Amino acid sequence: MSTAAPYLRPRVHACTGLSALLLGVLPSPWHLVMAVGGVFLGWVVFPLSGIDARLRRPGESFLGGLRTYPVAVLGLVLLLPRAEAAAAWGVLAFGDGAASIYGRAIPAPAIFRHPKATWIGSGAYVLVGAAAAWALGAGVASLGGQTGWVDTGAAPALGACLAAALGAAIVDLVPLPPDDNLPAAAVAGGLLHLLRIMT
């Protein structure tokens, strides 16, 4: 892996997270086509083009984060209202990416002797993930309201976004196979949905 790769991967994560804004303008079923297209990119195009080799971590299996990330996004888009799906996608794309970047760049104590997580990295996960979730959820809801042809559902409140990011950051500490993307997305999306129906 090149020296740029440790920072390239979270940047790619974040850039793809901006695609969540398309959930506010794409009519059905094109939002699903977009999500399926992401799976096709991750499972077929990246491996065949060589991009996969630049992004893969040392020793990472074929079913690592490069494959589970688009599958997690597809699950969010299939199961949640669009604004909630965008918010949970924001946690995954920006929170996880921020944890990786800040965790490497700023020396900090490990969380309870965790092999990879630091207090700075996990703190960045929560703060950046919550901010991105709130911004993307609000952005998708606003775009849907302006177009009039997309039912996005209501934008999640900032408190719900903070809870979703915190839940995903906690799950990120647990080594769950094959990768943390699927459980983190499930927890973030599940908390956003649960908090909405409880209020």
Interhelix angle 119-147/82-90, rounded to 10 degrees, is 150
Domain ranges of the chain: 5-198
**d(Cα 73, Cα 42) in Å, to the nearest integer?**
12
Cα-Cα end-to-end distance for the chain: 47
**d(Cα 138, Cα 117) in Å, to the nearest integer?**
30
What pLDDT was estimated at residue 115? 75
**Predicted confidence (pLDDT) per residue in 125-169, tens digit:** 999 999 999 999 999 999 999 988 899 999 999 999 999 999 999
For the question of whether the overall pTM of this predicted structure is more than 0.85, the answer is yes
Highest-confidence segment of 83-87, 117-121, 176-180: 83-87
